[in-house]
Chains A and B, each alone.
Chain A
Amino acid sequence: MILKKTRRSLMIVMTKDTMQIVREQDVVPFRNRVRELSTKIGMSLVNQTKLITAASELVRNMLKYANGGKVMLETVSKNAQSGIRLIFMDQGPGITNVQQAMQDGFSTGKSLGLGLPGAKRLVNEFDINSIPGEGTTVTIIHWKHGR
C-alpha cells in the first residue's frame, strides 16, 4: 500500500451497517456478515480470512471483557481503493494500560494474549482508544489489495 503523506485524501463511506453483539452466538453471524461484505468488494481469500480472523478476535474480546457491544461495518473508499472498516465499540471497564495489552502474550484473562497484537498484525490499519471505566473503541481497516 502506498501512503501519500503529502496530500491527505478523503475517505468516503459507501455503506454503513451496525450489529449488536451480546452473546457468543452472535459471533458466527457477525463473521458471516464481514465475509459477505468483503466478498462484495472483491477481496482475495487470504485478505478475507485475515480480516475475519482479526474481527473475530476483537469481537471475542468485546464479549469476554465488556459483555458485548456494537460493531459498525462500513465499506469505505480512498484513493480509488475500496476496503472494509470495522468499528468495535463497547462500554466495558476499558484497558488501563493499552501499551501492555498490545504486547504479545499479555492477558488478564486466561487466553494466549494474542488477540489485540495479532489483530493489529492482520489488518492494514488499526486504532485503539480506551478510557478506563467508560469503554473501548477499536477501529480496523483492511483494503481490498492490502498486503
Chain B
Amino acid sequence: MNKIAQLLQNNKKQILESWMQNQLADASLRDDLISNEELRRQSDELISGLARATSSGNMDNIYTPEYEPVVEILSDISITRARQGFSPRETGMYVLSLKQAISTVLEEKYSEQPEVLYKELITTHKLLDNLSMVTFDTFIKGREEVILRQTDEINEISTPVIRVWEGILALPIIGTLDSARTQIVMENLLEEIVNTGSSIAILDISGVPAVDSLVAQHLIKTVSATRLMGAECIISGIRAEIAQTIVHLGIDLSNIKTKASLASALQLAFSMRSVEVRKINKNTGFSLTR
C-alpha cells in the first residue's frame, strides 16, 4: 500500500477536519447554498472514495475502474452544485482545497524526510488537479446538453407550416437546410397536407443563406415526396444571386415550379386553384370570386 492511501485511511478524520476548516474559513463559501452538514457529508464521502481508489497504487490515471466511484461522486457533486447555483470555479475550488488539507497532514508526517514529502506532494497535487478537471468536464457536459436540447427546440419551432388559403400551404424555411432539418420540414409538411387536404405547398427559401447541391438535393426530395402525396409544390424566394449559383452548379430544377417571390408563388397557386384576387370598386365592397 502506498503512502497516500495509508495517510488517507489513517488520518481521515484529521484531513476531513482540516479540509472542513479550510472551507469554512474561505470567504467565498456559499453557506447560503449548502448547509454545513451537507458539505461535511459530501466531503466525507469523497475522502473515503479517494482512500479506496488510491489503495490500488494507481495515482495518475483516473479513468480506471478503481477511480470510477470517485469520478461518479465528483460528477454528482458537480451536477448538484451546478443546479444549486454554484459557479464552476467554486466547485473546482472545493476539490482543490482538499489539496491544501492533505498537504498539511503530509507535511506534519514527513517533515523529517523532505525527499519523500516532495514526491508525495507532487503525486497528490497531480491527482487532485486531475480530479478537479472532472468537475469542470461534468459542468460543461451539462451545459452542452442544454444547448443540444435548445437546438432541437429551435429546429422544431423554426419550421412552421402556414395555411395561407384553402388548399394552399406555405412553409417558410429560415437558416441552413441540413439533413436533420429537411426531415423535420418534410414530416411537418406531409402531415399538414394530409390534415388540411391541401393540394398546393409553397416552400419559401428566402431565408436560406446558401443553396448548394446538398440543399438542392434536399429540396428536390421534399418536392418529390409532396408530389407522391398528390400535391403540387412551388419553390419561392429564389434570389438573383442564388439563381446564378444554381445554374453554375449545374442543378436541374427545371421540372419544379419556381418563383422569385412568395407573392408570385401565391398568385400561381391561386391560378392553379382557379381563384382570382382582384381590385374592385369601393362602393361594392371586397369580394373574391372563385
Contact surface of A with B, Cβ cutoff 8 Å: 24, 27-28, 31, 45-46, 48-50, 52-53, 56-57, 60, 104, 111-112, 114-115, 117-119, 121-122
Contacts and interface: CB of A to CB of B under 8 A. Distances in A.
Contacts, number: 63
Contacts of B210: 31, 49, 52-53, 56
Q: Which 3 A-B residue pairs are closest in the complex by CB-CB distance?
A: A118-B249, A49-B241, A56-B212
B242 interface: yes
5 contacts: A45-B241, A53-B210, A53-B249, A111-B214, A112-B217
A104 B248 CA distance: 12
A117 B249 CA distance: 7
A114 B249 contact: yes
Interface string B211-234: 111101100000000000000000
B209 interface: yes
A52 to B, nearest CB: 5
Given A28-B176, A121-B249, A115 B213 contact: yes
Interface residues of B, number: 19
Most A CB within 10 A of own CB, among B210, B212, B214: B212
B241 A114 contact: no
B217 A111 contact: yes
A118 B214 contact: no
Contact of B212 (A28, A57, A104, A121): A57
Q: Name the prevailing secondary structure of the A interface residues.
A: helix
Interface of B: 176, 178, 209-214, 216-217, 240-242, 244-245, 248-251
B245 A49 contact: yes
B245 A53 contact: yes
A53 B211 contact: yes
Given A31-B209, A56-B210, A57-B212, 16 more contacts: A24-B178, A27-B176, A48-B241, A49-B241, A53-B211, A53-B212, A57-B249, A60-B212, A104-B250, A112-B216, A112-B251, A117-B250, A118-B248, A121-B249, A122-B245, A122-B248
Contacts of A49: 210, 241-242, 244-245
A31 B244 CA distance: 18
Most A CB within 10 A of own CB, among B176, B178, B240, B250: B250
Nearest to A28: B176
A46 B212 contact: no
Nearest to A58: B212
A53 B245 CA distance: 7
A52 B215 CA distance: 13
B250 A118 contact: yes
Contact of A57 (B209, B213, B240): B213
Nearest to A110: B217
Nearest to A121: B248
A125 to B, nearest CB: 15
